[in-house]
Structures are given as structure tokens and as C-alpha cells.
Amino acid sequence: MPPALPLLLIVIGLLIGFFTAQRGGSRGSRAGLGWILVGTSILLLSSLGVVSDALLNLTQAGLAPLSPAALQQRMLGPNAPQAIVILGGGVRRDLSEDDTDGFAPKQDAQDRLLYAARLARSSRLPILVSGGAPIPQTPPEARVMRRVMERDLGITVRWVEDRSLDTGENARFSAQLLSADGVRNVVLVTSPSHLQRATSAFVGAGLTVTPAPTALNPGGGAFWELWVPSAGALRQSTAASHELLGRTFLWLKRLRE
């Protein structure tokens, strides 16, 4: 993902140019320059708001926010939601958490927790948090999420799914916990770029899903914001590229099956 991929291409180009120069060759120098130009171009484009917005639109097309009022209305119809599922979005070191495990949810995960807490207060639906420890020597994401929900937001968590290492396992293990209590219809809370793939996984696990995307970004902005490189646009491009790569992987996996 950017910026690692373009930086890797640039390093390869520099190495090719260095070793070619040692041998006095010119063709290798041109090849090295080509690698550097490709890497620099990818890095530059990924840092432009106009590109990151286009990538983001590919991942969140057709999504709409789920307001507390809309959720309450849905609870009156068929297949009414019976629980709220929050997917983990990673954990980070936090020295202010030295009285616990020293970790806190990353920004994306915090957005999901805040949004789910708002929905839970209005609907009184029970909550499941899902996320294991895909990175060694870190606590399961679900346990960190439960602590924040209960300690900081005052929302009780009924189910904790702390074994999953990817979205597919999020769905399978969560479905096992929910099915044991007769829950088949859920509100699924995750980032908009991740929601389509997550919804597919949860439906495949036998659940009916009401999508609840967090932090929907409409894109756009002033001219300079769209055409001047920025760290925010690079971060957005990275998230969208990660999701598009995940969808491509699942598509190839289905072809093999």
C-alpha cells in the first residue's frame, strides 16, 4: 500500500542506478530512472485529493448513513435488527492507558464505537464487538473496544468475539455467538470503505445485515485541497487501496472455488 509501494519502487530504481553507474552502463541507468519515476508518480498521485476521492468513491458507492431515527423505523418492519455488531479497526499504544493493557483503539475504531454507542442509546439493542489480535504482542481488539464502550461511553457489551484475525472470521465467529442467542438480524458498524466486503461476509455467515457506515466522506473541497499533495489524501488513498485489494483477493478466491 502507499506509501510503502512507491517508496520501494524508488529504492529499487536508486539501487539499479547505483550498481549500473559502478559498471559504467547507461541502459541500466535509464531503467533505474524509470523505476524512480513510476514510484514518484504513484506517491504523488496517491497524495492528491482528487485521486483519493475517486478511490474512496469506488469503495463507498451506494452507502448512506443510518440515523437513530432510521434505525428505529427499521425496527418496526420485517427482519428487524436484534443486535449491533462493531468490527475492530486496530489498536495503538497509549501511555494514558497504563492502568490497563497500555492500548487504545485506533481512530477508525473510535469512530465506530462512538457511532455504535449513539445507535445503541436510541435503539437499546445489545452490542457485540469483534476483533482478535492479528498483530503479535497486542491485546485482542474486541477487549480494548469493550473497555472503551463500558468505561468511557457507559454502554454495556453483551458479546465479545476476540478470536478473529480477518473479516471472514469476524463474520463466522460473530455468527456463532449470535446464533446461540437466536440473533439473526444485525446492524453492522464499520468504516464505509470496509462495509461492502464486511456485509458480504456476514450475509455469507447466515445473518441479515443493516449497514451502518461510519465517517462517510463526501469528498470534494477547495481547488488547492484537491490538487496539492497532503498527508490526509495519502491516508485516504491507502485505506481505499487496501479495501480494493481485499475485494480483488476475494474475487480471485471465488474464481478458484
- Tens-of-pLDDT digits for all 257 residues of the chain? 888 999 999 999 889 888 887 776 666 678 888 999 999 999 999 999 999 988 888 888 788 889 999 999 999 888 899 999 999 999 999 988 777 788 999 999 999 999 999 999 999 999 999 999 988 889 999 999 999 999 999 999 999 999 999 999 999 999 999 999 999 999 999 998 889 889 999 999 999 999 999 977 777 777 777 899 999 889 889 988 888 888 888 788 778 87
Q: Residue 39 class from Cβ within 10 Å (0-12 exposed, 13-18 middle, 19+ buried)?
A: buried
Which are the contacts of 135, defined by CB distance < 8 A and separation ≥ 6? none
CATH 3.40.50.620 domain extents, the chain: 64-213
Query: In 217-240, which positions are buried (b, 16+ CB within 10 angstroms) versus exposed (e)?
Result: eebeeeeeebeeeeeebbbbbbbb
Q: What is the 8-class DSSP label of residue 96? A: G
The pTM for the full model equals 0.83
DSSP code, position 97: G
Beta bridge partners of 208: 185
Grid cell locating 177: 455467538
Domain range 64-213, CATH architecture: 3-Layer(aba) Sandwich (3.40)
Name the residue among 212, 84, 97, 91 with its Cα closest to residue 152: 97
